[in-house]
Amino acid sequence: MTATDGASTASLALPSMWPDRDALALGTGLAAARTDELACDVAGILLITASLSPGQVVEHGTVVSW
pLDDT tens string, the chain, 66 residues long: the values are: 444 555 788 899 998 888 999 999 999 999 999 888 888 888 888 999 999 888 888 889 999 887
The reported pTM is 0.66
Q: Which domains occur in the chain, in start order?
A: 2-65 (3.30.429.10)
Please tell me the predicted confidence (pLDDT) of residue 57. Answer: 81
* Distance separating alpha carbons of residues 32 and 55, to the nearest angstrom: 30
Helix, strand, coil shares of the chain, percent, nearest 5, are: 35, 40, 25
Contacts of 10 (CB under 8 A, 6+ apart): 1, 30, 31, 34, 45, 46, 47, 48
Is 8:34 a contact under the CB 8 Å cutoff?
A: yes
Distance between CA atoms of residues 27 and 42, nearest Å: 12
